[in-house]
């Protein structure tokens, strides 16, 4: 059960930045360039 918790923590840690980038790219204006 501990292994599953670690796997979910790693997935959340990796997917969180991707979700944030997607949300910002949807709400940002096209003139803004992502670094």
Q: How far apart are CA 20 and CA 30, in angstroms?
A: 17
Instruction: Kindly tell me if the per-residue pLDDT of 34 is higher than 70.
Output: no
The pTM assigned to this predicted structure is 0.47
Cβ atoms of residues 15 and 6 within 8 Å: no
Pick 16 or 26 by higher pLDDT. 16
Q: What's the average model confidence in pLDDT over 12-20?
A: 93
Confidence of residue 16 (pLDDT cuts 50, 70, 90): very high
């Amino acid at each position: 059960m501990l292994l599953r918790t670690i796997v979910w923590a790693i997935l959340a840690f990796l997917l969180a930045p991707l979700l944030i980038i997607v949300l910002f790219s949807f709400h940002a204006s096209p003139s803004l360039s992502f670094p």
